[in-house]
Amino acid sequence: MTDIDLEPVFLLLALKNRKCFSCGTTQSPQWRRSQYHDAIKDRFLLCNACGLKSAKGQFCSYCLRVYYLSSEEEYVTCDRCGKHDHASCAEFVGRNHTPYRCKSHYELESL
Ligand SMILES: [Zn+2]
Ligand SMILES: [Zn+2]
Ligand SMILES: [Zn+2]
């Protein structure tokens, strides 16, 4: 037996433990690291579909989960940039004001 024979087993085990932080799937043709929270990026491993959306900024500012607007969750939309965040997350941090500002615009404008 050579070392080469062992390699796929390790790969398989590594893949088996992978779980998308956002949607919870354990099945993905490709895994992506989220660009936010780089220091703890392994916690924020994303499946292929969520990774693509995350790269386009389609994630909630507060819980960092990628959103699918067709889902049943409620969203608030930033008055400045049109970014969506979960209504429940914005409410949790007390920022569900009208007109709504996303996290970065809220911080910019409250300086
Ligand atoms: Zn996912
Ligand atoms: Zn959220
Ligand atoms: Zn904004």
Domains of the chain, earliest start first: 1-56 (3.30.50), 57-111 (3.30.40.10)
Q: pLDDT tier at 13 (50, 70, 90 boundaries)?
A: low
Give this prediction's pTM.
0.72
Residues 9, 5: Cα–Cα separation, whole Å:
8
Q: What is the pLDDT of residue 39?
A: 47
Q: Around ion ligand 2, which residues have CB less than 5 A away?
A: 60, 62-63, 86, 89
pLDDT digits (tens, 9 = 90+) for 65-107: 888 877 778 999 999 999 999 999 999 999 988 999 998 899 8
> Tokens 């994630």 appear where?
59
- Ligand 3 centroid to Cα of residue 58, in Å, is 12
- Ligand 2 centroid to Cα of residue 33, in Å, is 18
For residue 94, what are the contacts with CB-CB under 8 A and spacing of at least 6? Answer: none
- Ligand 2 centroid to Cα of residue 10, in Å, is 34
- Ligand 3 centroid to Cα of residue 84, in Å, is 8
Of 21-25, 42-46, 76-80, where does mean pLDDT reach its minimum? 42-46
Q: Around ion ligand 1, which residues have CB less than 5 A away?
A: 20, 22-23, 47, 50
